[in-house]
Structure 1
Amino acid sequence: MRKQSDRRSVLQVELREFDPVGNAQLHAIRAAAQAIKAARRTVVVSSGSGTGPAHVLGYLGTIMGCDIQLALGSSTGQAAQVARLQEGDCLVVLNIWRLTRAIRGLARVGRERGATVCVLTDLRSSPLADDAHHLIATPIEGIQAGPSLTAMVAAVQAILAEMADDDSARVRRRPEGVERPRPHGRPALGRVFRIAPSHRPTWR
């Protein structure tokens, strides 16, 4: 019982730390969503703890029909992907806790290449602001020893919600193959598993 109470208090503290209602934050979230929707392609770069929210943005954004590529590997691989950006593309940078020289350089290169740079960071005064067209600041303070990702994941979900509200056919279109039966009787994504009266597992 005590562990459950402790977990509840952790969540309450983390939720209090994130105030998504600020006008500046809302403007930045909407602008970032619009930049990703309008881009021919979007590259998402991060390292360390930031790769978690980056995966959320990349996976769900791709399902919405956007061309989103994750660059979360080596600095060399990240640099190669960012170097291919040009005007009309978008670069999303997620940074938590420690800003590496590599991430700082990638943001600068993206800006120089003409891409729209969207930054999600835990510091409003982050050096990344110098190269960001849109900056979303999310706190990472919690009662645990490490950084809390609650606020940044919430900001990513807010961006995705803005993208889903768009009326364009590209974002509204359900991706090809989702919820469509696969060959050899394999269920498509989204099928519900149930136990039939015959006690044999079936899919519907």
Structure 2
Amino acid sequence: MDADKHFVRNTTIGTGQAVKSIRKDLELLGLLSESLSDASITTIAEMITSSGSTKVLATGAYVAPGAVLAHNVQGLGYNVSLSDGSTTSMINDVRLLQPGDCLLTFSIWKTSSSIVPLCELAKERGVRLIVIADQHSQLAELADQLVLVPSEGVGPMASVTCAVSVAQSIVGAIANVDTQHSAAMLEELQTMWSRTQAVISD
């Protein structure tokens, strides 16, 4: 559905819109909790931790879950980075991936036209593809690992809440792949935060 039609269908007059939005997201999270596979999330975590490099391709609102995933997994000591720039910069990022590396992207509501051919190129080069999607789209069909999430919110755009939740689930699973490694990396990160005063604790 186009953005304007989605807006007309989901717009209501009166108070309580914020609460309705939150309740809808809670409903979506309930659906996700019933359908999400622990085995799938564990497999994705193992794919990322065993690869030399993982790129997260994200555009628009889905830069948010992409940033959550990339930033937090970097904190755990793995080479995961967000690619959210121009198509030409995304091409450069995909070109640097090697066979066995991972590419993770989103196919929710609307998918940028450049993402599908970039994923096709990556697959041709032996890169493993992880897709978080809200339906069995063309991109979802290319995936080596697929996570389906509900996304229909009450506002003018699709909800990103479940995609963020899945990103956090993947981070948690990655932390548990090698707990000693995770603990060491987080201790090192805390030391660097303290020395640079990048983070100030209350």
Match of 2:63 in 1: 51
Match of 1:160 in 2: 171
SS at match of 2:66: helix
**Aligned 1:42-191 pairs, distance under 5 A:** 42-123=54-135, 125-167=136-178, 169-175=180-186, 176-180=188-192, 181-182=194-195, 187-189=197-199, 191=200
Match of 2:23 in 1: 12
Give the drift of 1:171.
2.9
**Partner Cα distance (1:171, 1:109) in 2:** 32
Q: Residue by residue, what CA displacement relative to the aligned partner does 1:48-76 show, whole Å, maximum 9, x if unpaired?
A: 11111111111111001110121110111
Structure 2's unaligned 5+ residue stretches are 1-13
SS at match of 2:105: strand
8 Å CA contact 1:15, 1:151 repeated in 2: no
**Partner Cα distance (1:118, 1:28) in 2:** 10
Of residues 140-149 and 8-17 in structure 1, the stretch that sits farther from structure 2 once superposed is: 8-17
**Partner Cα distance (1:57, 1:169) in 2:** 20
**Partner Cα distance (1:169, 1:113) in 2:** 33
Give the drift of 1:24.
6.0
Number of aligned pairs? 186
Return closer, same or farther for 1:118/1:58 CA change in 2, 3 Å cut-off.
same
| Higher RCO (C-alpha 8 Å, min separation 6) | 2
Return closer, same or farther for 1:177/1:150 CA change in 2, 3 Å cut-off.
closer
8 Å CA contact 2:75, 2:189 repeated in 1: no
Return closer, same or farther for 1:36/1:7 CA change in 2, 3 Å cut-off.
same
8 Å CA contact 1:66, 1:170 repeated in 2: no
The structure number with the bigger radius of gyration is: 1
Question: Greater helix percent: which structure?
Answer: 2
Match of 1:197 in 2: none
Q: Residue by residue, what CA displacement relative to the aligned partner does 1:72-94 show, whole Å, maximum 9, x if unpaired?
A: 10111101111121222111112
Work out the percentage of aligned pairs sharing the same amino acid: 26
Give the drift of 1:99.
1.8
After TM superposition, the score normalised by the length of structure 2 is 0.82
**Partner Cα distance (1:167, 1:132) in 2:** 25
After TM superposition, the score normalised by the length of structure 1 is 0.81
